[in-house]
Amino acid sequence: MLVVALAVYPTFGTGYGVRAMLQIFMWIALAGSWNLISGLTGYVSFGHVAFFGAGAYTGAILISKASWPWLAAALAGGVGACAVALVIGYPCLRLKGPYFAIAMLGLNEVLRALVSYFEGLTGGGSGLSLPTLHATVPIYYAMAGTAATVTLLTYLIITSRFGLRLMTIREDELAAEAMGIDTARHKLYAFLLSAVGPGIAGALAARDQGYIEPISVFPLATTITMIVMVLFGGKGTVWGPVLGAVVLFVSQEFVWARFPYLHQLLFGAIIVAVVLLMPRGVLGLLQVKYRLPRTI
């Protein structure tokens, strides 16, 4: 039902509505991907928007300099982000706790500096414009597909022993090692998977907006929003990131937009409230309280 409704929505929805849905799909893909590494293994990534930015630049460069079709460029964005994850995952994932979080924050700053520096390719600080293309509806479907794929992937992982092994890293990494689990390899796999969705979403967003610049695709605020969405909905669950993305995006659009000055304050208050009152998030709380299966 919902799937059908979402599938036909662009045929009757307003331009604004379609764009808002597209954004929701994007946030689902981002939050769901952050959940794969941070919700499951407990390795909190504070620079996940780096993969979004890496994908955005990969896609935008291929479209503008090599005239790739946008769908192929979007997939390449996923591959590009995954390649970045591969390069930095190996050293960074040895770091524990806050050190990993900070290293990821650093990665984001480094990437932003790099794209600003290589002006010839990226347009540097003045950004990169893409040829005009009216493709919001096809991009809507592509973004929906990305969100659905990330969610399906999360489901498949959480219901597998691979997913349980990722959770043992969160629960007790040392015990997991002593039980024969190759935690380094598992963390790396989760990290690579968590980079693909943001990479594709970044390239799609770049195509949709037609223009990108370093500050627009590497903002720390985007990482924080992903984190808050997952914490609100329930980290380590399948539907938590979806719930968090929908609820937070909708409240942002329809409630907070009317109170522009309160926006930041409300957002901050939600973070504090979730962390203090509901550290497992909505679905995490229900899961523990009512013994719900892992598949929620």
Partner 1 sequence: MATPVLEIDGLSKRFGGVAAVDGVSLSLEPGRIYGLIGPNGSGKTTLFNCITGIERRDAGRVMFNGERIDGLKPYEIARKGIGRTFQVIRVFPELSALENLLVVTRGGLADAEARALELLRFVRLEGLRNEYAGNLSYGQQKLVEFVRVLMRDPSLILLDEPAAGVNRTLLNDLLDAVRRLRDEGRTVLLVEHDMKVVMGLCETVFVLDHGEKIAEGEPGVIQTDERVIEAYFGR
Residues making contact with partner 1 (CB under 8 A): 161, 164-165, 167-168, 171-172, 174-183, 288, 291
Output 184 or 247, the one with its CB closest to partner 1.
184
Tell me the β-bridge partners of 170. Answer: none
Helix (H) or strand (E) holding 182: none
Query: Within 10 A of 215 (CB to CB), how many other CB atoms are there?
Result: 11
Give, rounded to a whole angstrom, the gap between the first and last alpha carbons of the chain: 19
- Residue 84: other Cβ atoms inside 10 A: 20
Burial (0-12, 13-18, 19+ Cβ within 10 Å), 169: buried
By beta-carbon proximity to partner 1, the closer residue of 159 and 252 is: 159
- Residue with Cβ nearer partner 1 (168 or 223): 168
Q: Measured from the CB of residue 184, what is the shortest distance to partner 1 in angstroms?
A: 8
HSE on the CB side for 228, CA within 13 Å? 20
| SS3 (DSSP) at 279 | coil
Which CB sits closer to partner 1, 200 or 283? Answer: 283
Q: How far is residue 47's CA from residue 219's CA, in Å, rounded to a whole number? A: 9
Q: Which residues pair with 128 in a beta bridge?
A: 212
Residues facing residue 212 across a β-bridge: 128
143/150 Cα distance (integer angstroms): 11
- Give the residue with the Cβ less far from partner 1, 134 or 291: 291
- Measured from the CB atom, the residue of 197 and 236 that comes closer to partner 1 is 236
Smallest gap, in angstroms, from Cβ of residue 175 to partner 1? 4
From 192, 277, 254, 216, select the one nearest 24 (Cα to Cα).
254
Which one, 186 or 207, has the nearer CB to partner 1? 186
CA dihedral over 9, 14, 19, 23, signed as positive or negative: negative
Residue 129, helix vs strand vs coil: strand
Q: Smallest gap, in angstroms, from Cβ of residue 88 to partner 1?
A: 21
Minimum distance from residue 171 beta carbon to partner 1 (Å):
4
To the nearest whole angstrom, how small is the minimum distance from the Cβ of residue 292 to partner 1? 11
Residue 103 CB, nearest distance to partner 1 (Å)? 22
Nearer to partner 1, 122 or 183 (CB): 183
Radius of gyration for the chain, computed over Cα atoms and rounded to the nearest angstrom: 19
CA distance 23 to 136: 11
